[in-house]
Structure 1
Amino acid sequence: MIDIHCHILAGIDDGAQKLEDSLAMAREAVAEGITTIIATPHHKNGRYENPREIIVAKVAELNKSLQVANIPLTVLVGQEPAINGELLADYENNKLVPLNETQYVFVEFPSSHVPRYAEKMLFDLQLKGLVPVIVHPERNAEIVERPERLLTLVDKGALAQLTAGSVCGKFGKKIKRFSEQLIEANLVHFLASDAHNVTSRSFHMGQAYDQIEKQLGIDVVYLLRENAELLVEGATVYKEVPQPVKRKKFLGIF
C-alpha cells in the first residue's frame, strides 16, 4: 500500500516533531501494510515554508534512520503547498516539489473556501505540464456546501485526494457522508492518510479501504490503490467521468 500524503518528516511542520515521532509513525504505517510514503510537509500556508532543499535533505536523513532501525518503509519527496499567487514562480524557481518528482503536485485550499483565482491557477499549472491534485476537498467548507465547485475543477483536469480519516468518521458524520458522495460522483482519485502523528491524526488507511469496499465495492478500492501506484511512477491515473454530487437525506435533512 502507498500513502501519498503524510507529515512524517520531523520538526518542520505540525506533523512529527522529533525523529522518534517519525519512527513511531513509520512503525504504525508498516503495521497497516503501507510500504511507501510520500512525505508532504506544509509549504507557504501562513505558518511553514519548506522549500525543496530542506525536504530532500530531510527525506534522505529519514530513510537512513529507517534502515538503521530496520523498518521496511521507503519515504519519497513531496510537498503540500497552499494555493497562493507564487505557485508558478516557485515551480519555475525549483522551490516547488512535485510528488516523487513526477508531474503530480498537491494544492491545498483554505479550509473555509475556494479562492476565486483557483480555477485559473490550476489551469496555469497544467499549462506547465503539471497535474494539480486538490488535497482533502471533503474538509473544505465551500465545497461541502457547493460540491459543484469541485466538479468544475475536476472537469477541467484537476484531480482530488480524500483523507482516510474522513472516510472513517474521524472528522464527523457529515464529512464521512460527504466523502462517500464524492467517491460515488467520481470526484476523488486518491485515498491518503494525511497522518500527523500516531495519536490524534494517525493513518486509518486499512480501515478506510475496508469501509469503502463495504459501502461502494472492491472495484473502487482497486482504483484508488492503483492510482497511488501510478502516481508514484509518474504514469497516467484512472479517471471515471465526474458527476454532480447526489445529496442524500440523513435523519430527515440533507
Structure 2
Amino acid sequence: MIDIHTHILPGIDDGAADWEASLALARAAAAEGITTIVATPHHASSSWRNPASVVRPLVDELQTRLDAERIPLRILPGQEIRVHGDLLDAWERGELLTLGDSSYILVEMPFTEIPAGMADLLHELRVMGLRPIIPHPERSAPIMKQPQRLAELVEAGAYSQVTAASLLGGFGKRCQESAWTLCRQGLVHLVSSDAHHAERRGFRMREAYDEIEGVLGSSWKQYMLRNAEAVTADQAFGEAPALALSHDNIWDKITRIFRK
C-alpha cells in the first residue's frame, strides 16, 4: 500500500512530535503493509509554515534513520498546502512541493468554507500541468451539507481523497456518513491515512480498504490502490469502475457499518 497523506515528519506541525514519534509511525505503517509514505506537513495554514526548504532535509534525514533501523519504508516529500491568496506566487518561488515530486499536489481547503475562487484556482493549477487533490472533503462543512459542491470541484479539475478513519467512524457518525456519501456518488479517487500519531491517530488503511471492498466491490478497492500508485509514479488515474450495486443497496451496506 501507498499512503499519500501523512504527518510523519518530526516537530513541524501537529503530527509526530519528535524523531521517536516519527519512527513509531513508520513502524506502524510497515506493520500494516504500507511500503511508501508521502510526508505532507501542513503548509501556509494559520499555525504552520513548512516550505520545501524545510521539508526536503527532514525527509532525507528520516529515510536515513529508517534505513539504519531497517524499517522497510520509503519516504517521499510533499506538503498539505492550505489554499491562500499567495499560492500561485509561492509555487513560482519554489516554496511548494508536489507529492513525491510528481504532478499531483495536495491542496487543503478550510473545514468551514470553500474559498471564493476555488474553481478558478483548480483551473490555473491544471493549466500549469499540476493535478490538484483535495484532502478530506468529507470533513468540509459545505460539502457535508451539499455533496454536489465537491462534484463541482471535481468537474473543475480536482481529485479527492478521503481519510481512512473517516470511513471507519473515527471522526464521528456524521463525518462517516459524509465520507460514504461521497464514495457512493463516485466522487472519491483516493484513500489515505492523514496519520498524525501511531496510537491516537494512526493509519487504519487496511481496514478502510476492506470496507471499501465490502461496500463498493473489489474493483473500487483496486481502483483506489492503483491511483495511489499512480500518484507516486506520476501517471494518470485509470477510469473509475461502475458502481456494481444500486445506490440503495450500497447504502444498506453502509448502514450496517454504522451499526458496528
1:185 aligned partner: 185
What runs of 5+ residues in structure 1 fail to find an aligned partner? none
1:238 shift after superposition: 2.2
1:63 aligned partner: 63
* SS, match of residue 123 in structure 1: helix
Deviates more, 1:192-201 or 1:171-180: 171-180
CA distance in 2, matches of 1:73, 1:150: 33
1:121 shift after superposition: 1.1
TM-score for both structures, normalised by structure 1: 0.94
- Map Cα deviations across residues 95-116 of structure 1 (whole Å, 9 max, x no partner): 1100011111011010111112
- Map Cα deviations across residues 76-128 of structure 1 (whole Å, 9 max, x no partner): 00000000111111111111100011111011010111112111111111111
* SS, match of residue 65 in structure 2: helix
1:113 aligned partner: 113
| Matching residue's letter, 2:147 | P
* SS, match of residue 181 in structure 1: helix
1:41 shift after superposition: 0.3
Aligned residues: 248
CA distance in 2, matches of 1:129, 1:242: 28
1:28 aligned partner: 28
CA distance in 2, matches of 1:80, 1:239: 26
1:216 aligned partner: 216
> Is the Cα–Cα contact under 8 Å of residues 139 and 178 in structure 2 kept in the other structure?
no
1:175 aligned partner: 175
Alpha-carbon spacing, 1:241–1:113, altered in 2? closer, same or farther (3 Å)? farther
* SS, match of residue 134 in structure 1: strand
1:199 shift after superposition: 2.0
| Matching residue's letter, 1:139 | R
> Is the Cα–Cα contact under 8 Å of residues 187 and 242 in structure 1 kept in the other structure?
no
> Is the Cα–Cα contact under 8 Å of residues 220 and 240 in structure 2 kept in the other structure?
no
- Map Cα deviations across residues 57-81 of structure 1 (whole Å, 9 max, x no partner): 0000000000111100010000000
1:122 aligned partner: 122
- Map Cα deviations across residues 144-170 of structure 1 (whole Å, 9 max, x no partner): 101111101101211001100001110
| Matching residue's letter, 1:156 | A
What runs of 5+ residues in structure 2 fail to find an aligned partner? 256-260
CA distance in 1, matches of 2:235, 2:73: 22
| Matching residue's letter, 2:130 | L
> Is the Cα–Cα contact under 8 Å of residues 97 and 105 in structure 2 kept in the other structure?
yes
CA distance in 2, matches of 1:179, 1:210: 15
CA RMSD for the aligned pairs? 1.7
> Is the Cα–Cα contact under 8 Å of residues 189 and 238 in structure 1 kept in the other structure?
no
| Matching residue's letter, 1:128 | M
> Is the Cα–Cα contact under 8 Å of residues 223 and 240 in structure 2 kept in the other structure?
no
> Is the Cα–Cα contact under 8 Å of residues 125 and 132 in structure 1 kept in the other structure?
yes
> Is the Cα–Cα contact under 8 Å of residues 154 and 242 in structure 1 kept in the other structure?
no
